[in-house]
A and B are shown apart, each in its own frame.
Chain A
Amino acid sequence: SQQGEEDPQALSIQEGENATMNCSYKTSINNLQWYRQNSGRGLVHLILIRSNEREKHSGRLRVTLDTSKKSSSLLITASRAADTASYFCATHYIISGSRLTFGEGTQLTVNP
């Protein structure tokens, strides 16, 4: 399977702390995306980083990409209780056309 792997599977932090989630993948990518899912709901796109980019920011989100290690990380700074959700990385592999391959997700709990 070319499915990405996310680490950790679950993360529990206090409000105000930073949360870091990691994603590893297997083959060359066009881009890597991060999505958020509130319990039982549809996924919402957060940020996309292209294979020729190393870092990207969007508000309190920071994404890094290391193509040599085939890994990415998502950092959420100054977390809030409303950030509690599952976070998925999705890889757009070069060989897969327009398809995305999703990881199994990291469940983030931010305690007030």
Chain B
Amino acid sequence: EAQVTQNPRYLITVTGKKLTVTCSQNMNHEYMSWYRQDPGLGLRQIYYSMNVEVTDKGDVPEGYKVSRKEKRNFPLILESPSPNQTSLYFCASSAPGLERYEQYFGPGTRLTVT
């Protein structure tokens, strides 16, 4: 089944404790992206990647890091989480090179930073 998976689905952590949210897709998509969703603010893009070893900042990259060492994986790293990073996070992928611009979303990771 074609899908985007994220782990963990739920995470409660404390300020300053480094964490990683994994994202993996099995559709051989070149493009992957991370979004955060907050009430009243819609989806905002954090980082995106056009292909392996190619990443770029989205609209709200501060406090986040990403890497793209393999085509299927695109982890999101919070080196020193803060309470304002409490949010619902989504990973997505697509195949723009095939003009398949629709994005496939993971199930989401609900992060709470206390």
Give bound CA distance, A84 to B48, whole Å. 30
Give bound CA distance, A105 to B39, whole Å. 10
Chain A residues with a Cβ under 8 A of chain B: 1, 3, 30-31, 33, 35, 40-45, 48, 88, 90, 92, 97-105
Q: Say whether chain B's binding surface is mostly helix, strand, loop, or mixed.
A: strand
Q: Beyond A88-B42, A104-B40, A105-B42, is A43–B105 a contact (Cβ under 8 Å)?
A: yes
Ordered by A's residue number, 12 sampled pairs between the chains whose C-beta atoms are within 8 Å are A35-B103, A41-B108, A42-B107, A88-B43, A97-B50, A98-B96, A98-B101, A102-B35, A102-B43, A102-B44, A104-B41, A104-B42
Interface size of B by CB at 8 A reads 28
Chain B residues with a Cβ under 8 A of chain A: 4, 31, 33, 35, 40-45, 48, 50, 58-59, 88, 90, 92, 94, 96, 101-108, 110
**Which one, B90, B101, B106, contacts A48 given CB within 8 A?**
B101
